[in-house]
Structure 1
């Protein structure tokens, strides 16, 4: 005889209508749309880019996922993608909210949202992104800063015009690290003396060259191998500098390891060697550094010693993402900035803190923190014809830059990565998006792979989302967002209260978000710890972080969060998350977390997840551009997934052909993402040892070079 519990469970299953995501997903149209979005994410989804966060997922993909979790199986997700929706009676949870993509996309569909992140920087930036502040209020605050602070900053970013003598603004200063040999020779760490060229040099061959003898700046072709300095007649090959990889060669030909020449206990010396200015005519010119420019920098350094400013004092803790910087003796976060940057950033922060309206002030604090990414001595020059500043997080590790670029902190709306330009391009556009949360569309004839023919569709109500701090407030307030700084293994949410869980878990392996976010935390925590308890920490890390290089530990950490998701998720609800990894142990770790938490993977869909040319992917031999959308339901709600090895492997082939026929270029790592995700479905929720999963996936991966349709057996 069946127990009452079994009878009740079967009756509940019979009543449940499956979600649209359990029956299908528009892989090709969403991937084409997502590929287009990925070219300019900050333009196409500005709400999630007012501040740096890592692995920010694509809004178009998450709109489709959320819609698929909330709509029933009778709905075609793509047919409904551009329709107005109002899931006012639904609640969507993201336990790893990051930059808030899930929250924004679910709110646009009319749902109430809950976002939790253990990282204080994430919590703060999502709160600020969802908070409505009018453009007029923000412009009033900017005008206040223009009157009180901007002149103090701009005076340190100017130089006499070399022709007219009038003062003109400096856009960028070019610096180079120097080391000293045991014989007393100072060597500037150039690998070549062409320091500025166009992003497409064959079409635009003009470049800027530095003379290593007299440090004069002059123009020439980017590919010249022999030049004569017009200032001192020194003849040299501008393609060859003293740096050879990790080594440097002195004037006598002696070779040294660069790290062996670093000064003890402090970062290397820097030398300023060139600048890019905007003249009164609007023309941009490259000039050498004059004694007046060196005196201006010295004046900034002297004033820094006299001022009392809210500057960071926090040390850089040891970790995989920080040890390369520490290896160059960057032991404190303030070491990442030169004296002029510390002075002007400190003046700007002090000015923001003097603004009386706290809600507006915190929007500007978020913007200030975002500005830090482009104004430090780990930035570099990208070249002409593109955004000039390569920000410090172009690598997942904090890599010391041998030829750093100093940006102009205040700047203008036409500059790159300055407070003014980010105010216009990031903050105001994010607030405008709340009023008109548009969707990206591909115009007729658009080539998504080249980012052309952008079109937008207005199919959402304005985002009048109220940010609340308790579950009770979420229940009382329509269209609200509960934003939590919390360990997602223990959420202040009742049992079976959430309709869907949609998320993107932290990356398994070496990318530790909190090691990187400490860069922002070091500036924000001292000024916000009395307002927000989550900033009253030693750093931005927490013992509850889901982040580890060891797969079993990572799996156990993730299992704790997924177990809590199962508790708060309604029985008929869906948990969907995106994942990709190039190694079998990453997939095995995720699968174990899912099944040990009481879920079963019932579907997996490949979808475009990231621009292949984006840093740091561009330097990867076999980059991944696909994510897998893994669809999970509670084990108690299914008898069997009902798939077979043949059906799943057929799906692998079908997805590969479907995506490639649509014009998407897939790497072998992308093929592995498709194969590995379908394999997790094929396991049908069985308890399989991690070692077995790793062996089977590794075997399949090794055979992919010969055949992309891989037979994988399940023991």
Structure 2
């Protein structure tokens, strides 16, 4: 339907009504897998947990277009041509230059960039200097041709200066070759026999591929040629052809915490370092290089290679005082604790000497450019390259490359790091040239923005005519807390943001890795980089180590929302994404909202971080964001929780029908999220005048009431007595619904302040992310018996209610006596759970076992 086909007089759509939810998810999923391809601007510098730019472009379109605009006007799929159509692929025809957008938590810059593209004026606040810098350079304009010339000049100068330090000799041809990676290993003495031990988790360097050989390293340090090349898959046992040592290439002598010498003595790495009062020390043992003909080969680290490493150490010592080397002390913190536990004290200690020399020289040369703006863009690219260059990089022997410093949102000390060649011309992921190319592509994207869309099996590129990013639209960008805004009352039209998450990542600690260099590079020119460390006192997180508890988080977040409320126009709107899988965290942010004077008007689930990221797959985080909408409307009429519950029962039926009609692809779990947001509107508009038994009702009680009503209406709950434990109730409801995807299950569990791992720990669910299924009673027998066997008399309370039901069922179907357990466990509420399980499984034995009385035995 085109925008001229709907009756403008009949349409008066709210912002959330304009969201093409299913299509938004498709766009976000593509973007998060290859952000460098879909939105090059977000590859200019590392930042954590960026939300998809496509999501915020659509939020911006929904906010800035008039109330007659529909979700199909914004984006639709032409099913006849299998092509996308809509305002998403056009520059805005409306003049929005008078609209001002505030982002009080600018982070990686998604809001400010996407809204600038659309033509709005932007105001951003960001406490973290690294994130502030990213936002600044995202919008700063530059001549791209001049930037390319500056890139080439920088690389040429530094390669001429120290490029020789990254060369080696090919043992087969005697030709000089470019080093790609240098393999290192931590060296420790055995505390028992004093043997010097090279810590190696694995002897494998490269696995066999279709086009390349496998390479392994002989464990015998006296071997004349430790590198073994294999034209076959690596066997479980191998004889070194040089020295005859027999070994398992996959079996190393170290784990993350322990190491073992050749005599079998086992020691703790941290304990050894502490007893020696020493920092980790490393030595080189192998190189990957670009051989004549272009092959990537592995060789032993020889005397010539050692001379070049020593020359790098000498040059670093000579130039140390003139280079911007990160000598700051590593601060104590949650994220840095693993570094300090290994006795790292200063940031420069997590870099090799050759890397300190190389990155220091690159930064120094970038500082010399007469055009400061050009130099700053080069500095940004070099800073981003640091994520591939330090002693925190591990070798990926399957994909034949080094990892990132931050595969997880943490620092991980490595016993077997690899040192990439930042100056290489091979084009691998370590090359600074690649990171500078990312900067060039990012700024070219600013001048000629495009959208890439998957259509009918192809990825098509659409340049958005008459759209670009302009510095003139940046009204303000402040590096300071947003708990106090330097803005007039009612001066912004929309607040669009992505606030910090409860008990989430300590960005000040992680970004310190980059800041430690940028402080020395930018500190003389920018006051934002004058402090030695990233300011963290007002960082809004819950962090027990720094004394920031839930009260601090709520108070600080409330301060920001209050200021946002003050500067927002009366007819303005707040919209933000939130990403958390615990109901407690939702209660915290909703409390901050309502205490700030906002009324919640809606909530919608959208695709969040890349599904395959380690953050999600390893930590069971929710893979979706909730977009929350709020405005300044307030009723404050007194009502009761019972009245609220009754009103919701009446309203929910219509809400469900409306939402299913509007978004036909919604799952039940997604619908529940939407309904929760809409129900909270009724609570927040009366806040704080909501009472129960004469007492004011808090956010958590309101959430519990809302969730109970929603689950009953959607028939997604078990509707069991209150005494049944939450895990058992959630499992029973899951059995009723049947198998479902991980995300849908997690959304249901979130309403009970649970997540998938809670049920997995109790062996109540099984299956992969595509389909989680309930585990049956018989499958759980061994698990339950282990619980029973580990109990002392009177510890039956440690059993879940569903454990009791499942075990009684097992005894019944195997013709064993249930009397002992019935005598102890049987209650009316447990009978209700058994009846429910009989109903939803069709297995009346759940019910029959509870009907037995003790006189029958």
- In which range does the TM-score fall when normalised by the shorter chain? 0.7 to 0.9
Q: Deviations over 1:103-131 (max 9, x none)?
A: 11111111111111011111112111211
Q: CA deviation at 1:379?
A: 1.4
Kept in 2, the 8 Å contact 1:93–1:502? The answer is yes
Q: Secondary structure at the match of 1:75?
A: coil
Q: CA deviation at 1:323?
A: 0.6
Q: Secondary structure at the match of 1:398?
A: coil
Higher-Rg structure is 2
Aligned position for 1:270: 282
Kept in 1, the 8 Å contact 2:113–2:138? The answer is no
- Taking structure 2 as the reference length, the TM-score comes to 0.73
Please tell me whether residue 456 in structure 1 is matched to residue 456 in structure 2: no
Work out the CA distance in 1 between the residues paired with 2:260 and 2:659: 52
Q: CA deviation at 1:278?
A: 0.9
**Per the alignment, do residues 385 and 250 of structure 1 end up closer, same or farther by CA in structure 2, a change over 3 Å counting?**
closer
Please tell me whether residue 580 in structure 1 is matched to residue 579 in structure 2: yes
2:371 corresponds to which of 357, 362, 365: 357
Please tell me whether residue 158 in structure 1 is matched to residue 162 in structure 2: no
2:361 corresponds to which of 321, 338, 347: 347
Work out the CA distance in 2 between the residues paired with 1:673 and 1:361: 47
**Per the alignment, do residues 21 and 267 of structure 1 end up closer, same or farther by CA in structure 2, a change over 3 Å counting?**
farther
Aligned position for 2:844: none
Q: CA deviation at 1:340?
A: 0.7
**TM alignment of 1:38-53, pairs within 5 A:** 38-53=32-47
Aligned position for 2:77: none
Work out the CA distance in 2 between the residues paired with 1:646 and 1:270: 69
**TM alignment of 1:142-291, pairs within 5 A:** 142-182=151-191, 183-197=193-207, 207-213=214-220, 214=223, 216-220=226-230, 221=232, 224-262=235-273, 264-291=276-303
Work out the CA distance in 2 between the residues paired with 1:78 and 1:217: 61
Q: Secondary structure at the match of 1:243?
A: coil
Aligned position for 1:333: 347
Aligned position for 1:394: 407
Q: CA deviation at 1:206?
A: 5.3
Q: Secondary structure at the match of 1:410?
A: coil
Aligned position for 2:104: 95
Kept in 2, the 8 Å contact 1:371–1:419? The answer is yes
Q: Aligned pairs, how many?
A: 669
Q: Secondary structure at the match of 1:23?
A: helix
**TM alignment of 1:299-310, pairs within 5 A:** 299-307=311-319, 308=321, 309-310=323-324
Q: Deviations over 1:382-413 (max 9, x none)?
A: 34557x33111112121112221211122237
Q: Deviations over 1:135-194 (max 9, x none)?
A: 221122223323432222311111011122121101111112222221212223322212
Q: Secondary structure at the match of 1:315?
A: coil
Kept in 2, the 8 Å contact 1:438–1:458? The answer is yes
Q: CA deviation at 1:671?
A: 9.8
Work out the CA distance in 2 between the residues paired with 1:645 and 1:590: 25
Aligned position for 1:627: 625
Work out the CA distance in 1 between the residues paired with 2:464 and 2:360: 42
**Per the alignment, do residues 41 and 393 of structure 1 end up closer, same or farther by CA in structure 2, a change over 3 Å counting?**
same
Kept in 2, the 8 Å contact 1:336–1:376? The answer is yes
**Per the alignment, do residues 682 and 274 of structure 1 end up closer, same or farther by CA in structure 2, a change over 3 Å counting?**
farther
Aligned position for 2:791: none
Q: Secondary structure at the match of 1:79?
A: helix
Work out the CA distance in 1 between the residues paired with 2:470 and 2:573: 24
**TM alignment of 1:289-688, pairs within 5 A:** 289-307=301-319, 308=321, 309-383=323-397, 385=399, 388-412=401-425, 414-424=427-437, 426-444=438-456, 446=457, 453-466=458-471, 477=472, 479-549=473-543, 550-620=549-619, 622-636=620-634, 644=648, 680-681=680-681, 683-685=683-685, 686-687=687-688, 688=697
Q: Deviations over 1:568-627 (max 9, x none)?
A: 11111111111121222211111111111111221111110111111332323x342111
Work out the CA distance in 2 between the residues paired with 1:576 and 1:83: 23
- Taking structure 1 as the reference length, the TM-score comes to 0.86
Q: CA deviation at 1:266?
A: 4.0
Work out the CA distance in 1 between the residues paired with 2:91 and 2:449: 11
Work out the CA distance in 2 between the residues paired with 1:161 and 1:461: 53
RMSD between superposed Cα atoms in Å: 3.2
Q: Secondary structure at the match of 1:561?
A: helix
Please tell me whether residue 35 in structure 1 is matched to residue 37 in structure 2: no
Mean Cα deviation higher: 651-660 or 188-197: 651-660
Q: Deviations over 1:683-714 (max 9, x none)?
A: 4444443553686799988444443676979x
Work out the CA distance in 1 between the residues paired with 2:28 and 2:284: 41
Q: Deviations over 1:467-502 (max 9, x none)?
A: xxxxxxxxxx5x344222121111222111111111
Kept in 2, the 8 Å contact 1:310–1:350? The answer is yes
- Unmatched runs of 5 consecutive residues or more in structure 2: 1-10, 75-87, 544-548, 689-696, 709-716, 718-725, 738-747, 753-857
**Per the alignment, do residues 675 and 52 of structure 1 end up closer, same or farther by CA in structure 2, a change over 3 Å counting?**
farther
Mean Cα deviation higher: 89-98 or 521-530: 521-530
Please tell me whether residue 707 in structure 1 is matched to residue 756 in structure 2: no
**Per the alignment, do residues 697 and 251 of structure 1 end up closer, same or farther by CA in structure 2, a change over 3 Å counting?**
farther
Mean Cα deviation higher: 62-71 or 538-547: 538-547
Kept in 2, the 8 Å contact 1:20–1:76? The answer is no
Q: Secondary structure at the match of 1:575?
A: strand
Work out the CA distance in 2 between the residues paired with 1:62 and 1:360: 29
Q: CA deviation at 1:644?
A: 2.1
Q: Secondary structure at the match of 1:373?
A: helix
Work out the CA distance in 2 between the residues paired with 1:18 and 1:110: 24
Kept in 2, the 8 Å contact 1:174–1:406? The answer is yes
Q: Deviations over 1:224-259 (max 9, x none)?
A: 211111221211111211124532233233332222
Work out the CA distance in 1 between the residues paired with 2:424 and 2:702: 53
Q: CA deviation at 1:429?
A: 0.8
Kept in 2, the 8 Å contact 1:25–1:68? The answer is yes
**Per the alignment, do residues 682 and 282 of structure 1 end up closer, same or farther by CA in structure 2, a change over 3 Å counting?**
farther
Q: CA deviation at 1:25?
A: 2.1
Q: CA deviation at 1:646?
A: 7.1
Q: Deviations over 1:427-476 (max 9, x none)?
A: 011011011111231211x4xxxxxx32222225342411xxxxxxxxxx
Aligned position for 1:470: none
Aligned position for 2:740: none
**Per the alignment, do residues 150 and 507 of structure 1 end up closer, same or farther by CA in structure 2, a change over 3 Å counting?**
farther
**Per the alignment, do residues 285 and 43 of structure 1 end up closer, same or farther by CA in structure 2, a change over 3 Å counting?**
same
Aligned position for 2:65: 71
**Per the alignment, do residues 299 and 556 of structure 1 end up closer, same or farther by CA in structure 2, a change over 3 Å counting?**
same
Task: Name the structure, 1 or 2, with higher relative contact order (CA <8 Å, separation 6+).
Answer: 1
Q: CA deviation at 1:24?
A: 4.5
Kept in 1, the 8 Å contact 2:39–2:53? The answer is yes
- Unmatched runs of 5 consecutive residues or more in structure 1: 1-16, 447-452, 467-476
Work out the CA distance in 1 between the residues paired with 2:181 and 2:418: 7
Kept in 2, the 8 Å contact 1:645–1:682? The answer is no
Q: CA deviation at 1:520?
A: 1.4
